[in-house]
Amino acid sequence: MSRFRALWQASLNATKKALTGNLEDLMPPTERYIFNFNSKEELKKWHLYSDSEYGGLSSASLEIADSGNGMNGIFSGNLSLDVTEGSKWKITRGGFCGMRSKKFDGFIDLDSYDTIALKLKGDGRCYISTIYTENWVNSPGQQEDNSWQSFVFVPKDNWYIAKIPLARYLPTWRGNVIDAELEMNPSRIVGMSLSVNAEGGIPDARSGPGDFKMEIDWIKALRTEIFGVHLWNFWARRITGNNTK
């Protein structure tokens, strides 16, 4: 080996060693706040919707209040199956409310994470967590974001951290699951929502018309230990040039 090549190889090896040694510093943190309901400023990031937009009689509110252990969000209201007589909208039954985040400035990249965590205090009802991604599943002419949904149910009247793997979110269109093999693109997330229906959900959950109340402390993205190992190995191979599995 020539002297020049030996120096070049030594420099390359030293660079690889330095980069590999600092790989943990290059990795994103193991958790990332997406929403934190500890300030009334958080209200500006959300808007409410319900069947009342289509002639239904359900109602919802979102407020930030002190629960005794600090500030947190309270999503509450009333679910009604009735509809306004003579409504121009062709719905025969109401019964849904939701809170949806306003679109992010561009999108957020959660490609380094595999789980959504929500710290919640429930009321016995089953709720729906929705992730909206940049439109690439629907036809180019459609302006709707792609939606991915999962049920979320937590014990009544107790704070609980619900963890939902991204792989558990199913592709949906207008509330119906799309029967196709589709994969979410977590690097192009444009918004999220939390909603509740009077009917449906999981067995043994409270259902039917009436009041609802869900308290929310925060929503985070998590990287679990197993996913973190795979991600670390991926970046290690990229940096060192070793592409073997």
pLDDT tens, per residue, the chain with 245 residues = 454 455 445 554 554 554 455 545 556 789 999 999 999 999 999 999 999 988 899 999 999 998 777 899 999 999 999 888 766 666 767 899 999 999 888 889 999 999 999 999 999 999 999 999 987 655 555 567 889 999 999 989 899 999 999 999 999 987 788 888 888 999 999 999 999 999 988 888 999 999 999 999 999 999 987 654 455 454 444 444 555 44
CB neighbour class for 215 (10 Å; exposed up to 12, middle 13-18, buried from 19): buried
pLDDT for 85 equals 78
The Cα 241–Cα 228 span in angstroms is 20
Cα–Cα dist 209/106, whole Å = 37
> Per the confidence metrics, is the pTM higher than 0.75?
yes
Evaluated on CA atoms 182, 187, 191, 192, the torsion sign reads positive
Q: Are 99 and 195 in contact (CB under 8 A)?
A: yes
In three state form, how does the secondary structure of the chain look? Answer: CCHHHHHHHHHHHHHHHHHHHCHHHHCCCCEEEEEECCCHHHHHHEEEEEHHHHCECCEEEEEEEECCCCEEEEEEEEECCCECCCCCCCCCCCCEEEEEECCCCCCECCCCCCEEEEEEEECCECEEEEEEECCCCCCCCCCCCEEEEEEECCCECCEEEEEEEHHHCEEEECCEECCCCCCCCCCCEEEEEEEEECCCCCCCCECCCEEEEEEEEEEEEECCHHHHHHHHHHHHHHHHCCCCC
CATH for the stretch 31-239: 2.60.120.430
User: Residue 186, exposed/middle/buried by CB under 10 A (0-12, 13-18, 19+)?
Assistant: buried
pLDDT of residue 100: 96
